[in-house]
Chain A
Amino acid sequence: MATTHASQQRPPLWRDAGVLKWVVQIIVLVLVIGVFWFLSTVAADSLAAGGIEVDYDWLDGPANIQLSEGISTVPATMWEALRSAASNTLRVAIAGIFAATILGTVIGLARLSTNWVAQKAASVYIETLRNIPVLVLILLAAAILGSLPDLEGPEEGATDTRFWFDISKRGLALPRVFYADGFYQFLALMAVFSVGIVFARRQLQAKQDREGGDHKVGLKVAGITLVAAVIAWFANPVMGFLGSVFGGLSDAWGSIPRPAMQLVLSALAIGAAALFIKNFLDSRRTPAGLAKLTDDDYFRMIFAGVGALIACVMIWVVVPGLIGDLFVDGLRDLIQWFADKFGNGRGNRPIDAMRPTLSTGRFANYGPEGLTMTPFFAALFFGLVLYTASFIAEIVRGGVLAVPKGQTEAAAALGLSRMQSLRKVILPQAFRVIMPPLGNQYLNITKNTSLAIAVGMSDLVQIGQTIYNKNNQTLAVFGLFMAFYLTCSLTISFIVNNINRRLAIVER
């Protein structure tokens, strides 16, 4: 008994693993913070020696920057320039994600096809393009676009210069589809109708479950939706009254006193932390009482409490003004923005389209009516899409191959048709495998838009670089870069994770 007693004695402090691991961790943490502190003081010193103070006041200063394209090509302030550049980045990223998904899926399925030509063509595409750096592809696309013939001006005396499609040294022109005046009213009306559509769908599904057989529920629901859309297309002015509703709401929100908002927010932060700790303790509770908590568990709870404390300090001490601006004025402006989209006088088609034209200036160019891709945008877009599609194709192929053959055979044994088995058995399972790496590829497209700088398209990085070359606010600009790209990454991973959770197998 004495030996057991001895072994239960705590070892001396310098040999106690429980103490040592915390000591080591804290030393490393202090070291990391120390290195950062040291580097930032050195950087601040050398910046101060150059007469630069890191701040964001320059955002409101005049820009004198020319953008290649975007919301405003000659922005008044730096902030406007950056906003316009960021919207260019997002435009390439979103367009690229859509195009690469479609192209990649087609090629991936072609590689799975039993057709020899389709299979070989897809293999050659994939093996060629994914082994060439994306930057080289972008530069190749730019060089090829640059070698195209220049645009010729409209003929003498021509009144109608509209056309469907054109590609030249000046870029690409396509017909443009855009939201017209009635778009938001149309959406609001469709939201109202959707209640009825969901109800109808439930009824139809219940009937099918009751009576058996195939009642073609999907087809009927699609028909009802189409009818609703047609009605909403013409009847959208009905929703014009929402304009005054939103207007009133916005005024009411704007009159909320700021301390009240601060109080609510800090209560929310504390409540969230308390809820987390309570749930956490509940999850550790066993029938025999509270389970033994590890260091890690304590750490998590302390972390939640400290987080709430930091939030309160931020709200009341550090940035009380910002809270008011953001949560009172900001939300008020957001509601007002909605109010402006509705109105009793607005009653037009929700969506409209236009064909591109030629503008008559000293140099021939595409007019503003069509959807025009500048050559820079087109080079970046094609480079990114062609490259990423080769990876997406492999992901799609891998996903379909990952579904065991027995599933197809089981579906056939149940008497499902080929289309039915593909739609209801194979694709849902393949999606589960495809989604995570596909999300990674979307992230890659978004990050690779920063290569725009190589072809001179005004994306966030290019304009950011122009700005810090002008005013030497390098650190501040890099802070903005990080904030922007991390937000994009988090958004995409949030969406992908949500879809993933929905697709996940529900296990017993």
Chain B
Amino acid sequence: MTDITMPPPVDELAPEPPPSGPVVWARENLFSSWGNALQTFFFLFISWQILSWLLGKLVAEERNWDAVLTNSRTFFTFNYPLEQFARMWFSLGALIVAVGITLIAFGFEPRVRTSKIVQSTIGLGAAVAVIGVLTPVSGSWRLGLIAVGVAIGVVAWLAGRALPDGQTLPFWSLLVGFAVFVMVLVWIVPWGQNEFLDGEYIDEPGTVNITTKQPWTVMMGLLLGSFFGARALARVVPRRILQLAMIVWWVMGPAFLLFLVLRDPAFDWGYVLAVDIPIALAFGLGGGALLYWLTEPVRGEIARIVGALLLGTAALTWILAFFGVVSMLQKIRLSILFLALFALAAATFAGERSVRLRYAGIWMGFVALTHWLITGINTPSTLDIAAPPFIGGFALTLTIAYYVMLASFPIGALMALARTSTLPIFRILSTTYIEVVRGIPLITVLFFFSIMVPLFLPGEMELSELAAIFIGYTLFSGAYMAENIRGGLQSIRKGQFEAADALGLTTAQRTAFIVLPQALRVSIPNLVGQAIATFKETSLIAIVGGFDLLRVGNQTVASQPAFLGQSLTALFFVSFVYWVFAYSMSRASRSLEEKLGVGSR
């Protein structure tokens, strides 16, 4: 078709490909100079010694890993009653579904490079082989481990050579891989059936109990189902709505799971219909109408005056109730307080009709949720547990960590704003608070609150020890949160403030709509870092009396007659669980940072 002649082969002109292969690699990376070779031998020797010592500890004869297998339920949920365990599975399922939808709503579906998977798999194979070499186990076990490791490595290597370069896999394939992995763990791996049945310790060979297999299969189904379901949903529903729904869920949802699902309050429906629902309706509709009226731009000062009046009323109800003059339901007092805050903010959110309707709608939703929650918390539980709290183990660790982060956020934001403001008294107050709290150890704060809060409470008020500890931890965490947010606030350029002023925004509007959103975006990496630190530091409640994951491992399991003195075994498992969660959080935060592109701005 054409008579363009092909250029002559240039093979003989091309430069020699650089030599490659394991020997060259080793010469370049391990023995390039005598100093390098010395480093190689030194670090090989040290790693060899430490790893073989540690692995020896893991497989030593006095390790009884049945202590972990038998107590897996205790580790994660402590003494949550077995008859009600479906509630625990329901909560986990709800969380998993929420995770799946959130991933889609926020577009978190990074494609994964196959070369990376191949690399990690080769690394895994190498690790298994090294473990086989280093662990002091019997010959057949050692050979088996080495063979498995080498096999994994070789297969992955061959697969990597067969696959074309630069290929990527969609994110869902990772989720499927994870689900398959969990299925293999519960259906195929012969862990052995271990459990306490009526106080008797039973140990039989085989795979895990059917009571573990079935729920986990359902959970994995939910994970995949929610992910693909949300994908279909995202085609119909706008993403913004999905995102909003998920944010609301993550703020309120866990509380519902905790206080309504897991705790299972025994509602007295007659009372609920006669008292609770009318109060909620009155506040929701009445307050909504009031707020709709107040957010009209022509109201101006009136909104502030009404808000201040409501605030005064709220303060009065608390004071009167304290001196026992008028007794009023706590719920009503709280609702007046919240309504006052909403009314005070009304001028900031004033606007056209749809904006005002949304503001009133948010209030009604808020009332519905808080009233349901307060009623649920104040109703006795049906759970048959000797001593509160109703959750323990890893569930408690996660709950405390989550709520400390959530509750310390407003404290931190307020303190950061006060510290960066130009008002000297606010600045001094918040600086003192932040610096004092950051100067003292968490454990003294927790002790202080667990011991002193009962003394500080007036009259008949009572607070469980765990709640007192939670308050102390939140106040402590708030000081660190403030410093992280302050870092973000200081990165806002002066031009942003001036532009906001030029648009005629009020100070509150400028802070809420211009400054804080940008500051928070900048501080996300630090906040995630703090979340990981908070998660790890929840282990301190083991010292002050909560039965969290660490306390269960260190004390409960090690004091069971069947596993006396197995605290080291349990501690190894506990540290593994903490490690898995903290490590995956830090990995996730790294990819989140990349996605937000915070560093590249």
Contact = CB atoms under 8 A, between A and B. Distances in A.
Given A121-B47, A482-B436, A46 B39 contact: no
A461 B429 contact: no
B110 interface: no
B115 to A, nearest CB: 19
A46 B440 contact: no
Given A474-B452, A485-B439, A489-B439, A299 B568 contact: no
Contacts of A28: 425-426, 429
Nearest to A482: B440
A127 B539 CA distance: 19
Contacts of B451: 468, 474
A453 B443 contact: yes
B424 A117 contact: no
A488 B436 CA distance: 12
Interface stretch (B258-266, B333-341, B574-582): B574-582
A128 B572 CA distance: 13
B543 A135 contact: yes
A105 B457 CA distance: 48
A21 B578 CA distance: 47
A296 B424 CA distance: 6
Contacts of B455: 42-43, 46-47, 474
B57 interface: yes
A141 B423 CA distance: 49
A280 to B, nearest CB: 14
B447 A465 contact: yes
Given A43-B455, A115-B36, A451 B443 contact: yes
Interface string B554-583: 100000000000011001101100110011
A447 interface: yes
Contacts of B579: 128, 131-132
A39 B567 CA distance: 42
Contacts of A47: 455
Contact of B586 (A21, A131, A450, A451): A131
Nearest to A135: B539
A29 interface: yes
Nearest to A143: B568
A132 B40 CA distance: 27
Contacts of A121: 43, 46-47
B550 interface: yes
Contacts, number: 156
A338 B579 CA distance: 51
B5 interface: no
A19 to B, nearest CB: 13
Interface SS, A side: helix
Contacts of A113: 39
B458 A42 contact: yes
A475 B452 contact: yes
B536 interface: yes
A25 interface: yes
Interface residues of B, number: 56
Contacts of A451: 443, 540, 543
B32 interface: yes
B26 to A, nearest CB: 9
Interface string A111-144: 0011111100100100110011111110110011
B29 A114 contact: yes
Interface in B27-58: 29-30, 32, 36, 39-40, 42-44, 46-47, 57
A481 B446 CA distance: 13
A440 B2 CA distance: 73
Contact of A32 (B429, B442, B536, B582): B429
Contacts of A140: 568, 571-572, 575
Contact of A143 (B425, B447, B571): B571
Nearest to B457: A42
Contacts of A488: 439
B452 A117 contact: no
Interface in A92-117: 110, 113-117
Contact of B440 (A42, A118, A485): A485
A451 B543 CA distance: 9
A492 to B, nearest CB: 10
B384 interface: no
B42, B439, B456, B554: which has the most chain A beta carbons within 10 Å?
A: B439
A117 B40 contact: yes
Contact of A115 (B39, B447, B542, B586): B39
B39 A133 contact: no
A295 interface: yes
B127 to A, nearest CB: 10
A490 B439 contact: yes
A488 B441 CA distance: 11
Contacts of A139: 550, 554, 567, 571
Nearest to B540: A135
B600 interface: no
B435 to A, nearest CB: 8
A448 B543 CA distance: 13
Given A117-B40, A135-B543, A25 B426 contact: yes
A450 B544 CA distance: 13
A174 to B, nearest CB: 20
Contacts of B441: 447-450, 461, 485
A26 interface: yes
A155 B32 CA distance: 51
Contacts of B425: 25-26, 28-29
Contact of A114 (B36, B62, B567): B36
A117, A127, A147, A450: which has the most chain B beta carbons within 10 Å?
A: A117
Contact of A478 (B444, B458, B536, B542): B444
B448 interface: yes
Contact of A39 (B44, B46, B442, B456): B456
Contacts of B57: 144, 147
B112 to A, nearest CB: 20
Interface in A443-462: 443, 447-451, 453-454, 461
A26 B539 CA distance: 40
A233 B209 CA distance: 74
Contact of B568 (A134, A144, A296): A144
A486 interface: yes
A117 B30 contact: yes
A474 B456 CA distance: 13
B138 interface: no
Interface string B78-121: 00000000000000000000000000000000000000000000
Given A39-B456, A127-B583, A117 B550 contact: no
A395 B342 CA distance: 44
B140 interface: no
A307 to B, nearest CB: 12
A466 to B, nearest CB: 12
Nearest to A492: B439
Contacts of B578: 131-133, 136
Nearest to B550: A136
A110 B43 contact: yes
A413 B249 CA distance: 60
A482 to B, nearest CB: 6
Interface in B530-545: 532, 536-537, 539-540, 542-543
B443, B452, B586: which has the most chain A beta carbons within 10 Å?
A: B443
Contacts of A300: 424
Interface string B365-377: 0000000000000
* CB-CB nearest 7 A-B residue pairs: A489-B439, A131-B582, A133-B536, A447-B441, A450-B441, A25-B425, A143-B568
Given A139-B567, A451-B540, A485-B444, 17 more contacts: A25-B423, A43-B452, A117-B43, A118-B39, A131-B536, A134-B536, A135-B542, A136-B539, A136-B578, A137-B575, A447-B440, A449-B441, A468-B451, A486-B439, A488-B439, A489-B440, A490-B439
15 contacts: A25-B425, A25-B426, A39-B456, A42-B456, A42-B458, A117-B44, A121-B47, A131-B532, A136-B539, A136-B571, A447-B440, A451-B540, A454-B543, A465-B447, A486-B439
